[in-house]
Amino acid sequence: MKRIISLLILSAGIIIILLSIGDIGEIIDETQKQQNTVDFGRIGNCNPSRAICSIRSQFDNQSVKLSIQMDERIVVLTPFEIKLQIEGISNHKIKEASIDFSMIDMDMGVNNQFFKLLKTEGSQNSHWSAIGNLAVCVSGRSDWLATINIQVDDKNIMLSLPFTARRH
């Protein structure tokens, strides 16, 4: 009986150690991702439903321009199109692009959409599209933050864009 209890305790200890190693692996992966992220910053003073919002920055010793535009009317609970243009990065190096919608100091759940490649123009100009859909904030807020992530080989580009949605 004592032997069975000892084996159970030893098994439980091994399981805890293995679970901890998995968590450590996730922490290492997230730290690696943050170290390999180039933050292009925040595009201010631009309404993506009224204009093409662009930012230019350096990435891998090249000038890169990112442009984003959304449908004219961004209404909560109504799907809307998001267009992304990437200039200055070899098209074959872009692994994926995504957009995440959030509110500052408000938990709105996970709202992450992936862009689909629409077309390329030359070797360093690509056009992408995604469909977004925003939840209703119970407090009545309508200020959103779009965070765009572009994975280029083993690096990540991040860009933020604040915007406002309508309730109807």
- pLDDT tens per residue across span 10-61: 666 676 665 666 655 554 444 444 568 999 999 989 999 999 999 999 999 9
- The closest alpha carbon to 31, from 23, 40, 42, 43, belongs to 23
List, for residues 60-76, the tens digit of each pLDDT value: 999 999 999 999 889 89
The domain spans of the chain are 1-35, 40-164
Going through the chain in order, the beta strands assigned E by DSSP cover: 37-42, 53-59, 62-70, 80-87, 94-102, 112-114, 116-120, 125-132, 143-152, 155-164
Architecture of domain 40-164: Sandwich (2.60)
